[in-house]
């Protein structure tokens, strides 16, 4: 039951629809949109980093946050914490496709 609740929660946070979540078991991970993120625009912000219980978000002096996906549990706390809506949950297969040449 907890897995169903988690998937329902994550489907509200991401562009992934509830129907596609039910059809596919591909995991999701948070991704930072550097164009929306104020820390990537050189405004000091620790909002997502401070909210992360796993300490999976690194940033140098409040700028340029990076998510360490090895540590990340995909709980979605960073997504809800970001007031700039710069973090979204994306399917892992989508991330892999975007990073491929």
CATH assignment of the domain containing 14: 3.30.70.20
- What pTM was estimated for this model as a whole? 0.68
Give CA–CA dist 62/2, Å, rounded.
34
Q: Would strands 28-32 and 57-60 be described as parallel, antiparallel, or unpaired? A: unpaired
Put residue 21 in one of left, alpha, beta given phi > 0 → left and psi -120 to 50 → alpha: alpha
| Domain that includes residue 72, residue range | 2-99
Tally of domains within the chain: 1
Written as tens digits, the pLDDT of the chain (101 aa) is: 455 555 555 554 545 444 444 455 778 999 999 999 999 999 999 999 999 999 999 998 889 999 999 999 999 999 999 999 999 999 987 555 555 44
């Amino acid at each position: 039951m907890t897995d169903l609740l988690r998937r329902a929660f994550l489907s509200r946070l991401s562009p992934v629809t509830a129907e596609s979540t039910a059809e596919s078991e591909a995991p999701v991970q948070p991704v930072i949109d550097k164009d929306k993120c104020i820390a990537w625009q050189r405004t000091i912000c620790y909002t997502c980093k401070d909210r992360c219980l796993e300490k999976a978000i690194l940033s140098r002096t409040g700028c340029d946050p990076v998510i360490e996906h090895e540590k990340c549990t995909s709980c979605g706390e960073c997504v809800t914490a970001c007031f700039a809506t710069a973090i979204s949950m994306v399917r892992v297969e989508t991330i892999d496709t975007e990073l491929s040449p």
